[in-house]
Amino acid sequence: MYGTAIITGASSGIGLELARVFAREGYDLLITARRDKRLKQLKKELESTFNINVYAFKLNLTEEDAGSKLFHYAEKNDLDITVLVNNAGVGDYGFFHKSEWTRQLQIINLNITALTHLTHLFLPVLMKNKKSSILNVASVAAFQPGPLMSVYYASKHYVLAFSEALANELEHSGVTVTTLCPGPTESEFQEIANMQKSKLFDRFAVPSSKQVAEYGYKSMKKGKRVAIYGLHNKFLPKLIGLFPRNFVTATVRKIQERK
């Protein structure tokens, strides 16, 4: 057994598939999301299929002190935490000046604040183990500005920069930090972010959440710091540096626009 992996946003998409991968590999799980029914269904599925222990904790990570509630729950149940997967995230589509501030604040609170707080809370616990890992789910959006999804793109840039700095700080500590950067992926994200009609999802074949989750897990186990899924996505950071920033931003805007 590998101890217990925490997975946020485990009720759908990449988080759901990551839970299945970790369960298959022998980890006990602490899964959390807002949708209690889905969490309970996943708990039942994983425990019966893989003979592991699954702790399902309904939680809205955008709420104040949500991270502390999860930490105290893990403490109360005496869980041996060896992996933290910060997967929960949300986006929004449209012009920033026309958006609802509450939605933008939700993006910041979930994609940035909750991720950072959970990492701060659980890192001392992870450092007590000889070999532990943090897997932060960012996006290829982290490598450039994103007109029409400005706050989302900026939040993923934060995740990438924070994770890379943390990975450097934790060298020789026994804790690895991997940032998973997928491109567009088959999930509920585009519907929730109101971007079903964006041209972004027409550019390339869109992988499944399962494919991305398998890649993310393998990258984490290898201790890879930045894991970019998809061959065309891997070229993106290198290409961006070859062009003026205004050109990059305008190109992203064109791709993001509706059909």
Just list the catalytic residues.
152
Residue 84 main-chain phi, psi, to 5 deg: -120, 120
Across the chain, the runs of DSSP E, i.e. the strands, are 4-8, 28-33, 54-58, 81-86, 132-137, 175-181, 226-228
Torsion of CA 38, 42, 44, 49, to 10 degrees: 160
CA-based torsion, 33, 39, 45, 46: positive or negative: positive
- C-alpha distances (whole Å) from 135 to each of 7, 92, 93, 109, 178 are 9, 23, 26, 18, 5
Q: Edge to edge, what strands does the sheet with 28-33 contain? A: 54-58, 28-33, 4-8, 81-86, 132-137, 175-181, 226-228
Can you tell me the distance from the alpha carbon of 171 to that of 72, in angstroms, rounded to the nearest whole number?
28
Decide: helix, strand or coil at residue 49: helix
Token pair belonging to 246: 């205004």
Across 130-250, the runs of DSSP E, i.e. the strands, are 132-137, 175-181, 226-228
Can you tell me the distance from the alpha carbon of 63 to that of 87, in angstroms, rounded to the nearest whole number?
16
